Amino acid sequence: MSLLILGGTGEARALSIALQDLPGARVSLAGVTERPAAQGMPARRGGFGGAEGFAAYLRSEGISAVLDATHPFAARMSARSRRVCDQFRIPYRRLLRPAWHPGAEDHWIIVPSPAMAVKFIPPGAVVFLATGGQSVGEYAGLDHATVLIRVIDVPEGDFPFTRGKFLQGRPPYDAEAETALFLREAVTHLICKNAGGAAGQAKLMAARALGVPVVMIARPEGPKDRALETVEAACAWVREGCSP
């Protein structure tokens, strides 16, 4: 079996380690991080060049199954991958971790888009923008606040907002460290995407403990009929022969 894992998430790395004994299996990374964490199997880096490039790669490499473990907000990429796999009758599954849900002690404002998230940030706020360094352009209009952006690799050039800075770090993070960060930087608001999963919950726990409002961007809708919620379920699908 020539399995292709579409990666870039913690779940994808866990899959690549759990399935590293499969001959011909490989993981694909987008290449946005200069020094990605070690994978358990051979990895390729970079995009495919759209649907045609992805189709050409599947054909040239003889891929027999695709396990899509990209970010829950990579909806367009996942839709393209599913469409191309269906075209060539290649079994496809998406590992889609469950979304987060607010508890009684949380202060969430759920919005449909980054542009709407900006509208809920008051002048003078200190915002922890936990949506990834690649998407900062979607938050134009935050110049009335101080913006903190955590990245693995600090980009070259000027900071994208009038006030604020990059915070360099690599996950995982725990709730104690996130709470200390919020206190040190005097964070008043958190903006994040509803990515779900255990790895990103520490910042939400810190916000809850400190009473910091969370502006939560709802995840995009998409088909759920071929979605798996856990690494264990995804591994079982592969081990059992990748049913169509």
What is the secondary structure of the chain as a DSSP string? --EEEE--SHHHHHHHHHTTTSTT-EEEE---SSSPPPPSS-EEES---HHHHHHHHHHHHT--EEEE---TT-HHHHHHHHHHHHHTT--EEEE-PPPP---TT--EEEESSHHHHHTTPPTT-EEEEES-GGGGGGGTT-TTSEEEEEESSPPSS--SSSSEEEEE--S---HHHHHHHHHHHT--EEEEE---SSTTHHHHHHHHHHT--EEEEPPPP---TTEE-SHHHHHHHHHTT---
Per-residue pLDDT reduced to its tens digit, 92-114: 999 999 999 999 999 999 999 99
Query: Which domains can be identified in the chain, with CATH numbers?
Result: 3-98+221-239 (3.40.50.720), 108-217 (3.40.50)
pTM reported for the whole predicted model:
0.87
Per-residue pLDDT reduced to its tens digit, 127-176: 999 987 778 889 988 999 999 999 888 888 899 999 999 999 888 899 99
